[in-house]
Structure 1
Amino acid sequence: MSNSPVVTQVSHYLPYQSGALHVRQLMPANADYQKTPILMLHGVMSNGRVFYSDSGKGLACYLAQAGYIVYVLDTLGRGLSTPKLTGGERHGQGEVIREQLPLVQHFILSKHQQKLANHPLKQAPSKVHWCAHSWGGVLMTSAIARFEFIQSSVASLLTLGTKRTIKVKSLRKWLMVDVTWNRVAPLIAKRHGYLAADRWRLGMDNETRASLRQSIEWVRGDWIDFDDGFDYAQAAKQVAQRGGWPKTWFIAGRGDRVLGHPEDVSRMVQECQFGDVKQTLLSKRDGYKHDYGHAEMLTHKDAVNDHFVGIKQWYQNCG
């Protein structure tokens, strides 16, 4: 995708704890603040850059060029959020679920209301589309399951390579998860005071020790909040029983052998008992250009003319 001058990128910094959460806003010329916006969330050892670039590449840029206002969150300590991790931080994934996602949701809805405050004939959106890559989808799903406000203000949930547990068995899974993530990564985190994933070339950004420990335990077993014992699995069942889940699309890649294996993606769909849910496998056998891998779903040069087109159509149909 070529760089498009019609898309503007603006950074917002939301005061949070002792620093600020960075939210990147991407918008087309003559942005329509009545249109339902999109919020994107990265996974572990990652940040918002997985969705956009300054040169106009990425899913967020693509959707902004298609007319959507897109917001991309860097969770605390990642990307351009401040402060950067230095060791000793106590926050984990629970703060993303309970505090950061609700904070950004309120920010987006308030911003659109403020933009239209002087236009009485125009109505600001009351909902936001949520989109996530990998573990970001677990955190977003958890927030939806936990908060009625989120359930009522999320228009749709679209995930790429999202799983909550990893139950597939293979040599690659043993090396990547059982050895590297479960054993080596905690040793690195103990040495530095945080998981220095970028320094050790494990990922594009870093993780706190708490976030690392909590994600390891969730992948292994129970879906329970480490800070207050909230049972997300039980809450998910209750949301399903009253039809509270938003319209949902889970996308998996055939070439994603471990971190978002299609079988594990399907297990999460079954666990949450989503109502209006769609599942897609990005594979050549199913008509796509490649058997996409975990990161390739977002970064491959052919994605823009392949499944990105379907994602744009999804949002157009969602309204």
Structure 2
Amino acid sequence: MQQESIYIEDGENQLHLRHIWKNNGGVPIFMLHGLIENGFIFYTEKGKGLACFLAEQGFDVYVGDLRGRGKSHPAINAKSSFGQHEAITRDIPLFLEKIQSLNPQKMHLIAHSWGGVLITSFLARYPEWLDKVLSKACFGTKRVVSVKTFEAYFKLGFMWRYIAPILARKHGYFDAKKFRYGSDSETQQSLKESIAWVIPGQWRDHSDNFDYYGAAQNIVWPPTWHFTGISDYALGHKQDVQLFIDECGNSAADFSVLSKQAGNLVNYDHINILTHPKAVDDHFPKLVTWLKAKVEIGN
């Protein structure tokens, strides 16, 4: 298995795309992380993680770092002013265009958490890309948080909606890693926009008022599989994942809640659904089978 870093120039920014592969000519997969995260949720340089597992199965894997996160340059700082609008209208298109230039086959899309909201928003806004997509898989993806658990109240009601904005105003951005709340930083703008979307209400772009909800109702979605863990009590609770599926009008989507009761090896949570050592013997192989079946249908 091989890995390389690809950098995409966009003005003063360099977007990082990690390329992981074993065999040339494999079907491409694009993977996108969520908030206060980066691409390392999917891979390690030593060959662990879902991205590396998929590369071992013959896929041509590309993992994006949204601008300012992970190995993208420059890192988010007090001068960073971009938000979700740039992720949807600049970062994701640039990633996919680069992948298409390297491997022009139809591709799979895989996202974790808020990355699934961004990718879904991108497809709703730019439906011309649907012809190039074989499938979409999301892990712990929700938009609105409606569940009333202690963890949801603490992580989102208190930390995300109250403490994080205070720290962001003080420092010019939210350094989630420094405060042990996440793996990467967020700008004040992305924090503001995500807080607005998490609260039940309209799914519209805060920059130009684009109606993602309305656009989503007219989409014929590619085959979609949502996963979440039974122990995900806040950031991807099964109730809120189902709400997002319904909001997208994607009634044909598959939805699996991973738990020992359902036959899985672990009662997974929001993070270890991708990082647990047992995942390679549990839901990862099932995903591979599903992805390969979609290649046969799509081509």
Shorter chain as normaliser: what TM range? Answer: over 0.9
Aligned-residue RMSD, C-alpha: 1.0
Q: Deviations along 1:258-277, whole A, 9 cap, x unmatched?
A: 00000100111111111531
Per-residue CA deviations over 1:131-180 (Å, capped at 9, x if unaligned) read 00000000000001110222222211100000010000022211111110
Structure 2 partner of 1:73: 64
In 1: Cα distance, 2:196 partner to 2:119 partner: 18
Partner of 2:53: 62
- Say if 2:137 is the partner of 1:158: yes
TM-score (norm 1): 0.90
Q: Percent identity?
A: 41
Given candidates 195, 215, 221, the residue that maps to 1:245 is 221
- Structure 2 distance, partners of 1:102, 1:153, is 12
Contact 1:52 1:58 in 2 (8 A): yes
Question: Which amino acid is 1:83 matched to?
Answer: P
TM-score, with length taken from structure 2: 0.96
Aligned-pair distance for 1:17?
A: 2.5
1:36 shift after superposition: 2.5
Deviations 1:3-46 (A, max 9, x none): xxxx1001000001302100000000x422xx420000000000
Query: Partner residue of 2:205?
Result: 225
Structure 2 matches for 1:271-310, cutoff 5 A?
Answer: 271-310=247-286
- From the CA coordinates, give the structure whose radius of gyration is larger: 1
Please report how far the alpha carbon of residue 85 of structure 1 lies from its aligned counterpart in structure 2 after TM superposition. 1.4
Q: CA contact under 8 A between 1:246 and 1:276: conserved in structure 2?
A: no
Conservation of the 8 A alpha-carbon contact between 1:163 and 1:265: yes
**Partner AA of 1:26 in structure 2:** I
Unaligned residue ranges in structure 2 (runs of 5+): none
Partner Cα distance (2:291, 2:143) in 1: 25
Consecutive aligned runs of 4 or more in structure 1 exceeding 6 Å deviation = none
The 1-side partners of 2:11 and 2:259 are apart by 43
Give, as a single letter, the amino acid of the residue that structure 1 aligns with 2:203: W
Question: Deviation string for 1:118-141 (max 9, x for gaps)?
Answer: xxxxxx41x211000000000000
Within a 5 Å distance, the mapping from 1:1-319 to structure 2 comes to 7-28=1-22, 30-32=23-25, 35-112=26-103, 124-125=104-105, 127-220=106-199, 221-239=201-219, 244-319=220-295
Q: Which moved more, 1:49-58 or 1:150-159?
A: 150-159
Q: How many residues align?
A: 294
